[in-house]
Structure 1
Amino acid sequence: MVTSTQHPSPGDVLIVGNYCHDLLIQDSAVKAESLGGAASFISNIFNEMSIPCMLVSKVGDDFRYPVNHPPIVSPGARTTIFHAYFDSGPPGSGRPDRVLKRVCSCDPILPADLPEAKFAFGMAVGVGGEVLPETLEKMIQICDLVFVDVQALIRDFDEVDGTVKLVKLRETGFFRLLPRIGVLKVSSEEALFLDLEEVRKLCCVVVTNGKDGCTVYSKDGNTKISPFLASQKDPTGAGDSYLGGFVAGLVHGLVVPDAALLGNFFGALTVEQIGLPRFSARVTQRVREEVQKRKMQLQEGSANGLNFFRPVGHEQFEASLCASRTVLQCSVQECHWHPPGSYAAMEQDIQLLKCTGAGQSIETMYEQVSTSDSTSGG
């Protein structure tokens, strides 16, 4: 049973999925070790967005990470461990960018481990096979709207070395529950293991596609959501942070397209760091303010939390989030001041203007000025 002393309120979000210990290995060398698991990335986003949540996660006696949401410790068990092997070879070599192996797994999360309480939102985000069909069914009973990451449903693991494999969604014990969930989050790779046209008639499906953003599919249509540029260092947890940002937007009252945009934003920030990301307080404060402004602009609501129309001002909301990243870049660079007219100042201006759609013409102008300066001698 749940051992946490937290007392959930009806407005809280319930997150179900195990914490993990992640090792990132590149060219046979350990690149990083970090707290992992979708639950850790999502709760990290919720903490930054001031969203109360309750997390049900199981770990072993060996778990040593400090976390805001204490897990259930399974006596005699080990914490789930994943090794992610990255290939630094040239793109197009035919080898996968990442091979993921589950080295060991903790106990599954049972229906009895869930609290006897009602929640506005539930998130089934297992990574190592810990979410059972009966556990998801219990979540559907106690949560008004349930979000599911398909990796919790279709992952299988090699019996010898734990290599992660994917199975067809229809072949799992979860397929029958799809009409009762709100949103299924799927990566473009995972989408190959389900019939999108079939599933979108049963529930909303959000397909993430890395640098190309995401697409929201419902039974009535689909909407493509723009990406945010990012310099990728580690793709681990990008989809988890996306889902955290997406649900955070809905909790704060955004419509689905705006919430999906917020998901893309946090996904982009995540890939620029190795392991569990840390966000600047200045950036998250700015993002919270922009989300609240956006909420106040929206006049229409939705009884079930899912409104799929793309409202006026969506592009401006995108620009405001992009401008928030400029604040991050400034804080990372310790807010170095560049003299007006200097090349560094021009570059800074270009990045900001690109966010508002004016960057291309301005960048061309700067290139012309730079060329003129370089050929004038001196």
Structure 2
Amino acid sequence: MTTLFEPLQLGAITLPNRIIMAPMTRARGTQHHVPTPIMADYYAQRATAGLIISEAIGISQQGLGWAYATGIWSAEQIAGWRLITDAVHAAGGRIIAQLWHMGRVVHPSFLDGAQPIAPSVTTAPGLAHTYAGKQPYSQARALPLEEIPSLIAEFVQAGRNALLAGFDGVQIHAANGYLIDQFLRDSGNFRTDAYGGSVENRVRLLREVTQAVAHVVGADRTGVRLTPSSHDQGVRDSDPVPLFTRAAEVLSEIGIAHLELREPPADGSFGVSEYPPSAAIIREAFKGTLILNSDYDSARAEAALATGLADAVAFGRPFIANPQLPEVLRRGLPLAQEDRSTWFSQGIEGYTDYPGLPSGQVATQ
């Protein structure tokens, strides 16, 4: 029976265990979206994860609209991430970069007043997290056909930059109501061209971005994140099962190393669902490694592996206050609880100051 503590071959990357650190935005970059030295400490502290998926990293200024989040389009950003990947590798870990374009949820204040882009002319609900505090979103412009090749090229360059920064691979963020997810779902994609209407058309951008990134990074070092049964930031679909089944088939045909599914959390936070989880259906459609992520505890995670529903499980918030989470789970220790007020603050408080296990009590990787 497969357990959390068995190794896993994830494409080209060998994982010592199946406990994945999920991507989590923590807002410790600079206002110019450059990683900071304390981020190297943070990630290195968590290097006993089987794999670290980085916080979401903006592929371009057009695609990044979160205060103090990081990017990977400039030389300074690449150098900042290189310090982090070197620290993780020195601690025996593995780390991949999550490539992010936020689409319509980029506030114009990040774009010198320009409009954000989306599949169609729409406005995201709620408030944007900006340097001036919470502000209403603005109407996005529809991305014209002639700009799609340059968008794909930005994803490709971000993949190249991730390799230059020392990452072991990449994950394309196609979930949580961000740009690719906006193209996938019929609540915000009203296009009548080759990127809208039918399921096949709405999956087209995901296919083209993934193929292009996999070509330069290697399919065996490329993954994708989807949120098939939740709706986030006003993005939903009227019939998600055939949509995400086809998306999983497309990704399987490309031959990517992994697919991560973020299903709705039990407490209703970070995504709400109108539909039951679809992991079992997608498990049949996707032939690569399937990673599940949905507020798992150790028992639920082990059950998902034992039944074959998942090959690995991603843990998010437990890693915040439990830097050596794999050993905590292995020994059945109680989980420390994080301070939510410091999730997106700057500095080390609530970031690198959570205590680890006593020296000598952490299993080596």
Q: Write 1 or 2 for the structure with the bigger share of strand.
A: 1
Greater relative contact order (Cα < 8 A, sep 6+): 2
With the length of structure 1 as denominator, give the TM-score of the two structures.
0.39
With the length of structure 2 as denominator, give the TM-score of the two structures.
0.40
Q: Which structure would you say has the larger Rg?
A: 1
